[in-house]
Chains A and B, each alone.
Chain A
């Protein structure tokens, strides 16, 4: 019966795509994926002292990028953090 009413479960191909991105980046950088997860959590922790933002919208990834001046690509951390409002600590 399951075969006849074959509503495809979910888009598991999309899940595979996003899992692979993380795995390949950590393989190429020679670090473990749990390190990248750790990066993300710690960076969110530090940034939240200075600004208000939705942590689910934070996009942090390790990639390879050409490094200015050296001319070779190295592991590079890219972070996109949409900030709602800065915490103005001096006025408090």
Chain B
């Protein structure tokens, strides 16, 4: 049985595209046939995060307008045998596609894929409505910041109104050192405020920047963020995986300097 999952947040810049790229790659690594759809028409980015920008010939709008068949527009990721990308169009805008067309597209893709992931644009307008149209399930990405959590709450309300039954939260860019100091909301705080199941927390990790620079998702590396994303993928597929211990190993010197700072 296939599942259509939209990755959304309301606020921009919280890590939707990075999350889509890494979860998609992770699901493919776990052996699931996975396709990623960039629904951000006019501001496409999933292609560069995946490192597939040089292979685009057709895009989402071409498929919807019937300029090509779906299979012609799907880019096969040569690094992962089960992974495909349907890139967005860069020279059009959100009105080039309507929710009905998105619903039909995701319905058609169910035949060939286990997971269809939709990378949603920021905002709650047409682009958002397009992205959620065919979704069974949503992953709401937020960061432990007031603005991002407020927008996530609004998005959760809109998803409920759109009758999307299954919703989970990903807390991205958490910094355990700041949580420990009491300068950042903890995962538990965010869960309590939004009253939604947390499917995973991803630490703020500089390896993410390196991985995006290179156009290589880090889900199959031993970085903290990579491990966190892989755990989320396992939970999506129904496995029970305990929450990752995000406290980095700290040497004596660091602990001493922390102590001195506090003193």
Contact = CB atoms under 8 A, between A and B. Distances in A.
B248 A3 contact: yes
Select the residue from B56, B212, B213 with max chain A CB neighbours within 10 A.
Answer: B213
Contacts of A19: 48, 51, 53, 213, 215
A12 B91 contact: no
A27 B88 CA distance: 12
Contact of B213 (A4, A16, A27, A30): A16
Contacts of B215: 15, 19
Contacts of B212: 16
Interface residues of B, number: 19
B248 A12 contact: no
Given A4-B251, A27-B90, A30-B91, A9 B210 contact: yes
A56 interface: no
Interface in B169-227: 209-210, 212-215, 222
Interface in B63-90: 90
Nearest to A4: B251
A5 to B, nearest CB: 12
B213 A13 contact: yes
A9 to B, nearest CB: 6
Contact of B54 (A4, A9, A15, A22): A22
Select the residue from B48, B54, B212, B214 with max chain A CB neighbours within 10 A.
Answer: B54
Interface string A19-49: 1001100010010111001000000000000
Contacts of B53: 19, 22-23, 33
Interface of B: 48, 51, 53-57, 90-91, 209-210, 212-215, 222, 248-249, 251
15 contacts: A3-B248, A3-B249, A12-B214, A13-B213, A15-B214, A19-B48, A19-B51, A19-B213, A19-B215, A27-B90, A30-B91, A33-B54, A34-B54, A34-B56, A34-B57
